[in-house]
Amino acid sequence: MNYFCSWDEATGFPAYLIHRAAKAIQMYLIYEVTTSFAVQYRKRSDYAFDATSRPINPIGRTGLRGRGVLGRWGPNHAADPLVTRIKNDKLQFVAIKRGDTGEWAIPGGMVDAGEQVSDTLKREFSEETLGGKARAELEQLWSNGRELYRGYVDDHRNTDNAWMETTCVNFHDTTGLLDEVELQRDSMTVELFNVTFRPEMTP
């Protein structure tokens, strides 16, 4: 199963670029501006643009203009693999402890430019739960994913002109594959939680 999301081209503009038409900027910080935002975005995007041809957050104003700390104008794509199984008659899912907040969350991360979401899902799970080791025996698991959500994410990094979108896919282990792979559980950064157990999860 393959997923693919269309990226907007990188602009090279810094996050704190003055909010006016790009051609009018004389004091640039990274690259010389020679084309408008419209040329780079409008030819393939289905979201709206403001008077300066910047993409507009589809949910509305956030109080912060520009790109902020996000890598791209418009949608910034992420992928979140939700890996589950039934163990002792209880539904379980794989969670990781975030290094920045110490909170538990499902694995996930940013989609690289030109990367298929299906590859991101496998890469992020491998990096965050298996020490970066790709496991061939998990290919059966990856082939049976079910998309749960694709779209906008309410994220503190969102601005008026850049925002997070994610694809969450459930991979349910029905053959005991998770018993055959060694998760990094000894470091207490990876754990299998029962769904009935409610740890503090990140939104």
pLDDT tens profile 38-54: 444 444 457 898 998 89
Q: Is 21 exposed, middle or buried (0-12, 13-18, 19+ CB in 10 A)?
A: middle
69-81 mean pLDDT? 95
**Which stretches of the chain are assigned E, i.e. beta strand?**
74-87, 90-97, 104-105, 109-110, 145-153, 162-173, 190-194
pTM of the model: 0.72
Q: Which of 6-10, 40-44, 58-62 has the highest mean pLDDT?
A: 58-62
Q: Among the CATH numbers 3.10.20.310, 3.90.180.10, 3.20.190.10, 3.90.79.10, which is that of 22-194?
A: 3.90.79.10
Separation between Cα atoms, residue 82 and residue 104, nearest integer Å: 13
